[in-house]
Amino acid sequence: MTVRAKSEENPASAEAAISLEAVERAVAELRRGGAVVVTSNDGAVLVRAAETVDTWPLPFFSARGVGALALGVTGRRASILGLSQPDVRAVRLQSTKSFTPDFIRALIDPQVEDLHIPPAGVTATNLPLHSASDAAILLTKIARLLPAAMVAPLTESPAEWAQSHERLVVAAAAIEAYDRDQANDLRPISEARVPLAGSEDTRIISFRPRDGGGEHLAIVIGTPDPSKPVLTRLHSECFTGDLLESLRCDCGDQLRGAVATIAKNGGGVLLYLAQEGRGIGLVNKLRAYTLQDRGFDTVDANEQLGFDDDERVYLPAVRMLRHLGFTRVRLLTNNPAKVGALARHGIDVTERVAHAFPSNAHNQAYLQTKAKRSGHLF
């Protein structure tokens, strides 16, 4: 019997759907170099992704009703610059010199090699949690840009200012709820039989939220029985490893190995999750690779860029498993964090099944870092 996704359960509320649309539109605006207004209970700020700043002065930021410009970065990035502690979530950087494109790039991009000490004239102030500026940095993460934003407070009514200047408005609460709302809104879109080498009895079910955001795939092999723990693999997409067979990681081996293992065991499911580079995106992963070539390990490279060492979320996986009718799994993984993430959201992980492959000269240090610093079990 073919496993088919269940009909929609607990659809996202109309309010959540509106919030998702607002965040997606704001993301598109930031990625094209535009500015948006982010609002919260403590006020509103005009925001532009720092990575996109290539001209000066910035349009709109010198308009009436816009306050002093600052640069918002994560606490991790600020700590790299010697301006904050890494356990602070976000900080506001102010400077006695102008935030020119070159100066901004030096502050946010560790690939700029001429800035190794705290820059003169730059001061840091911790940003309140859930503030508009704090949410603005999170918005750049969602956009898969460097996690840094140019922010300036609005001194006039945010709604009126945004309307008169034709700027999009998005609430900080919507940005913070984005991952949860998008996961809750996932639903099956299409399903097809796709015979695989070594596993001809395979179907692929695509999932995406109504806002057209990230698409995830459930690769159902054989006919797994939902009444029993289902052999399951959560696999984060890896363009370089899965498709190009890069030797820098073990992702390609894990993907093909999981398909073979599941098929050999009579069936199961592989969830192919759209969260490249531990959730930082392909472009930022390539930036991290450049830093690794300079001697940083994979954890430090991500943190140099201003990200956490692992930005992935597993709510989409939980949602997909429930759609498929699977609530008990035998999890193919070396990562205890995946076990904990599923368990916290009501998926019973009855067994962790080891999933390791031989290293090579290019990924040996990477695997050692996963074991020593990320707690992977090999």
Residue 280 lies in a domain: no
* Buried b / exposed e along 333-366 (16+ C-beta atoms within 10 A): bbbeebbebbeeeebebeebbebeeebeeebeeb
133 and 213 belong to one structural domain: no
Domain at 320, CATH number = 3.40.50.10990
For the cut 70, the answer to whether the pLDDT of residue 11 exceeds it is no
Task: Considering only residues 302 and 373, tell me which one the structure prediction assigns the higher pLDDT.
Answer: 302
How would you list the strands of the sheet with 348-353, edge to edge? 187-193, 202-208, 216-222, 267-273, 230-236, 328-332, 348-353
Residue 47 lies in a domain: yes
For the cut 90, the answer to whether the pLDDT of residue 4 exceeds it is no
Residue 94 lies in a domain: yes
79 and 125 belong to one structural domain: yes
- The kind and range of the H/E element at 253 are helix 251-264
- pLDDT tens-digit series, residues 190-222: 999 999 998 999 999 999 987 677 899 999 999
Residue 366 lies in a domain: yes
168 and 228 belong to one structural domain: no
210 and 131 belong to one structural domain: no
212 and 360 belong to one structural domain: yes
- pLDDT tens-digit series, residues 330-353: 999 999 999 999 999 999 999 999
For the cut 50, the answer to whether the pLDDT of residue 8 exceeds it is no
220 and 330 belong to one structural domain: yes
Domain end: 179, 212, 235, which one? Answer: 179
255 and 115 belong to one structural domain: no
22 to 26, 131, 174, 193, 214: CA distances (angstroms): 6, 17, 8, 35, 15
For the cut 80, the answer to whether the pLDDT of residue 376 exceeds it is no
Report how far residue 180's alpha carbon sits from residue 318's, in angstroms, rounded to the nearest whole number. Answer: 11
152 and 211 belong to one structural domain: no
For the question of residue 203 being annotated catalytic, the response is no
Q: What are phi and psi of 221, to 5 degrees?
A: -105, 130
36 and 165 belong to one structural domain: yes
Domain at 107, CATH number = 3.90.870.10
138 and 197 belong to one structural domain: no
* Buried b / exposed e along 253-286 (16+ C-beta atoms within 10 A): bbbbbbbebbbeeebbbbbbbbbbbbbbbeebbe
pLDDT at position 325: 96
Among the listed residues 109, 308, 310, 322, the single catalytic one is: 310
Residue 298 lies in a domain: no
What percent of the chain clears pLDDT 70, i.e. is strictly above it? 94
- pLDDT tens-digit series, residues 58-81: 988 999 999 999 999 999 999 999
For the cut 90, the answer to whether the pLDDT of residue 372 exceeds it is no
Domain end: 144, 179, 214, which one? Answer: 179
Residue 265 lies in a domain: yes
Residue 304 lies in a domain: no
Q: In 3D, which of 138, 115, 142, 135 has the Cα closest to residue 24?
A: 142
Residue 22 lies in a domain: yes
Among the listed residues 76, 248, 312, 319, the single catalytic one is: 312
pLDDT bracket for residue 1 (50, 70, 90): very low
The stretch 128-152 carries a mean pLDDT of 97
Secondary structure (3-state) at 301: helix
What is the pTM assigned to this prediction?
A: 0.92
Domain end: 155, 179, 203, which one? Answer: 179
Task: Considering only residues 5 and 287, tell me which one the structure prediction assigns the higher pLDDT.
Answer: 287
- DSSP letters along 318-342, please? HHHHHHHT--EEEEE-S-HHHHHHH
52 and 141 belong to one structural domain: yes
Q: Are 31 and 145 in contact (CB under 8 A)?
A: yes
For the question of residue 77 being annotated catalytic, the response is no
- pLDDT tens-digit series, residues 95-107: 998 899 999 999 9
Number of domains in the chain: 2
80 and 170 belong to one structural domain: yes
Q: Residue 256: which domain range?
A: 186-275+312-374
- pLDDT tens-digit series, residues 18-52: 899 999 999 999 999 999 999 999 999 999 999 99
The stretch 284-313 carries a mean pLDDT of 94
